[in-house]
Homo-oligomer: A and B are copies of this chain.
């Protein structure tokens, strides 16, 4: 918890980055840097004068950081209340969605007022979905507190919850008005969660930034330790995501590339019943990316040494890269295939996967034969 004592004002200006997400009338800024939480009130008040707000946080993040956010909102004259929810993936449910919606209405917030999500991707997805449906869309500010949320889930407007039938199957596109990524807040994140978020950072390199992937190889330790490299890695990730989102807001085309590792990953999470003790999202993505590369090798698309380099980098960051690395009962191929077919990226029975021709050369493959996926997985579950 060193970040709570580090004075925000001392953060050098050079350690502040800003990324613009260009979406016409729905454009917004992502501010990135250590100590931003203390400036949240001022930044919000400057952009959204006169609003009232509901802060939504999970119990863990609320205990660590919500009072500092409240102090900052108070100082800027932003009247607000707080809703604290249980931590963990099961909070992305219909029941908790109803709870957030009801609280927003109970506070009589109007369309121009804001829901502020203080937390990881779970709180961001849930609170953003609620903001997207109360009065058919009210304002929404993201204060992402996990690495995964800072580089991925808080950017791009995808919000949603899980269904017993699959992950993120229900939701809306609803862009935030502002994203405030305090990079020092990550100091309280567990090493496991930091590594999980780092999987999504690596993803941007693997999609179409081979230089960034190489840079990560040289700076991984500094990023984990938290210096200017951390700010830079997060800003580059946000920039990468912002570019894809600006070109394809509603995921009709190339935005699908962001799902590298996610078709396998979601199936794994689902088979593990979203049990964080077994697997968290970023770990599933790490395994999924490793699988996507090895499957691409098996399909004769990708050099074997690229797949090996990906696994080596992820493993060095403390991430799992094989299905059998997941603790608990083994998954069957049938279970996995069933989840893959239910994945929302399925388009009329042909399987859609993000495959790759090598590091930084991912592409959308729309006609993947389910039989070859099954053969590939049969070999993988055995490893």
Spell out A's residues near B (CB within 8 Å): 50, 94, 98, 101-102, 105-106, 108, 110-112, 132-137, 158, 160, 163-166, 169-173, 250-251, 341-342, 344, 346-348
Distance A134 CA – B344 CA, assembled complex (angstroms): 9
Docked-complex contact A111 and B344, CB < 8 angstroms: yes
Pick 22 A–B contacts, CB within 8 A, sort by A. A50-B348, A102-B163, A102-B165, A105-B163, A105-B165, A105-B342, A108-B341, A110-B346, A110-B348, A111-B344, A112-B348, A133-B133, A133-B160, A134-B170, A135-B169, A135-B344, A136-B158, A136-B160, A136-B172, A136-B250, A136-B251, A137-B173
A-B complex: 9 closest residue pairs judged by Cβ atoms: A105-B165, A135-B344, A136-B171, A94-B98, A133-B170, A105-B163, A101-B170, A172-B172, A136-B173
Chain B residues within an 8 Å CB radius of A344: 110-111, 135
Q: Determine how close the nearest CB of chain B comes to the CB of A216; give it in whole angstroms.
A: 30
Chain B residues within an 8 Å CB radius of A165: 102, 105-106
Docked-complex contact B137 and A172, CB < 8 angstroms: yes
- Selected contact of A169 from candidates B50, B94, B105, B173, CB within 8 Å: B105
Distance A105 CA – B170 CA, assembled complex (angstroms): 10
Docked-complex contact B163 and A101, CB < 8 angstroms: yes
Q: Determine how close the nearest CB of chain B comes to the CB of A126; give it in whole angstroms.
A: 13
Additional A-B contact list (4), CB under 8 Å, known A108-B341, A133-B172, A136-B173: A94-B98, A134-B169, A137-B172, A137-B250
Q: Determine how close the nearest CB of chain B comes to the CB of A166; give it in whole angstroms.
A: 7
Docked-complex contact B132 and A172, CB < 8 angstroms: yes
Chain B residues within an 8 Å CB radius of A133: 133, 160, 170-172
Interface hub of A101, A102, A106, A136 (most chain B Cβ within 10 A): A136
Q: Determine how close the nearest CB of chain B comes to the CB of A174; give it in whole angstroms.
A: 9
Chain B residues within an 8 Å CB radius of A158: 136
Chain B residues within an 8 Å CB radius of A108: 341-342
**What residue in chain B is nearest A138 (Cβ atoms)?**
B344
Distance A165 CA – B170 CA, assembled complex (angstroms): 23
Chain B residues within an 8 Å CB radius of A171: 133, 136
Q: Determine how close the nearest CB of chain B comes to the CB of A130; give it in whole angstroms.
A: 9
Docked-complex contact B172 and A110, CB < 8 angstroms: no
Chain B residues within an 8 Å CB radius of A132: 172
Distance A168 CA – B317 CA, assembled complex (angstroms): 48
Chain B residues within an 8 Å CB radius of A341: 108
Distance A102 CA – B342 CA, assembled complex (angstroms): 13
Q: Determine how close the nearest CB of chain B comes to the CB of A173; give it in whole angstroms.
A: 6
Distance A96 CA – B191 CA, assembled complex (angstroms): 41
Q: Determine how close the nearest CB of chain B comes to the CB of A165; give it in whole angstroms.
A: 4
Q: Determine how close the nearest CB of chain B comes to the CB of A24; give it in whole angstroms.
A: 13
Chain B residues within an 8 Å CB radius of A101: 163, 170
Docked-complex contact A105 and B172, CB < 8 angstroms: no
Distance A251 CA – B135 CA, assembled complex (angstroms): 11
**What residue in chain B is nearest A98 (Cβ atoms)?**
B94
**What residue in chain B is nearest A348 (Cβ atoms)?**
B110
